[in-house]
Amino acid sequence: MTAGLIPLSAEVIVKIPFHDVDAASVAWHGHYIKYFELARCALLDKIDYNYMQMSASGYFWPVIDLQARYIQPVRFQQKIRVRATLKEWENRLLISYLIEDLETSQRLTKGRTIQVAVRMDNGEMQLASPPVLMEKLDLAR
């Protein structure tokens, strides 16, 4: 970890919409990944390296691993805070997530994703994060 850089995090507030819930007014488990993605995009915006900038730099960053632990369900119209925190960046992007109730701060879900750089021109997975990411992170200090 580089001093001053980590923890680099971002958060979004989501009000659970009707189209995300089942007959019991509970959000379907797959939608939590969408909530992670919203926070991840806010985090990537902070370093000016979201998906459009990644593509322009010549790299795809596919998610190769995803974990979620559901502690308590989220429900229709509940307001949640979704926080994404960058934990690793040298050889991969490891981002952790925490979903909390906005009013009570009760932990509802936690998770993580791992993404790796893949060159767009030849599809080769990179064993180390490309210099463009390091430049973006250095500017975030």
CA 7 to chain centre: 13
Q: What is the pLDDT of residues 79-107, one digit of tens each?
A: 999 999 999 999 999 999 999 999 999 99
Q: How many other C-beta atoms are found inside a 10 Å radius of the C-beta of residue 113? A: 21
Strand 8-15 to strand 79-88: parallel, antiparallel, or no bridges (unpaired)? Answer: antiparallel
| Domains, the chain, with CATH or none | 8-139 (3.10.129.10)
Q: What is the pLDDT of residues 112-137, one digit of tens each?
A: 999 999 999 999 999 999 999 999 99
Q: Evaluate whether 128 touches 91 at the Cβ level (below 8 Å).
A: yes
Residue matched to tokens 């971002």: 10
SS3 category, 13:
strand
Does the pLDDT value for residue 1 go beyond 50? no
**Per-residue confidence band for 7, with pLDDT thresholds at 50, 70 and 90:** confident
DSSP assignment of 50-114 equals: SHHHHHHTTEE--EEEEEEEE-S--BTT-EEEEEEEEEE-SSSEEEEEEEEETTT--EEEEEEEE
Does the pLDDT value for residue 19 go beyond 70? yes
Residue closest to 69 by CA, chosen among 99, 43, 39: 99
**AA letter at 41:** C
SS3 category, 121:
coil
Mean pLDDT of the 4-10 span:
74
Q: What is the pLDDT of residues 27-55, one digit of tens each?
A: 999 999 999 999 999 999 999 999 999 99
Q: Evaluate whether 54 touches 60 at the Cβ level (below 8 Å).
A: yes
